[in-house]
Amino acid sequence: MTERFTYEVAVRWSDMDAYGHVNNARFLTLYEEARVAMFFVGARAQGLTSFEDGIVIARHEIDYLRPVDYGDPVRIELWISQLRTAAFTVSYELFDGDVLASRAKSVCVPYNLAEGFPRRLSEAERGFLEPYLEA
């Protein structure tokens, strides 16, 4: 089974819409917090800091399965569903308690922010991502 990175994200009052549940656009923010934790905190814990030099998002895709109300933090599980030379896809599942509330994918591109162009994944970055790669 594929290893998953798990992160709990607090649902903030400001995430709510007029109907009393998390606004659809705020799901991207929740997913972003989990993704940043994986590539900054998780990678740094393994001695890898190169993701901090730049990653840009080329595409997002979200399926909303049920509303999420204000309350307890949500749990987001992340894994890598596609790994290419100069891009990779992060897949997510967002759980409200034990109930799956949303699925999403983000195509991420390593990017040289200083020079302003996409770059290839390094061997160290591939090594960090591979345990999370969906078989």
Q: All domains of the chain, ordered by start, with CATH? A: 5-132 (3.10.129.10)
CB atoms under 10 Å from CB of 62, counted, come to 16
| pLDDT per residue as tens digits for the range 23-47 | 888 999 999 999 999 999 999 999 9
1: confidence class by pLDDT, cuts 50, 70, 90? low
Alpha carbons 62 and 106: distance in angstroms, whole number:
9
For residues 65-86, average pLDDT = 94
Compute how many other C-beta atoms are within 10 angstroms of the C-beta atom of residue 46: 10
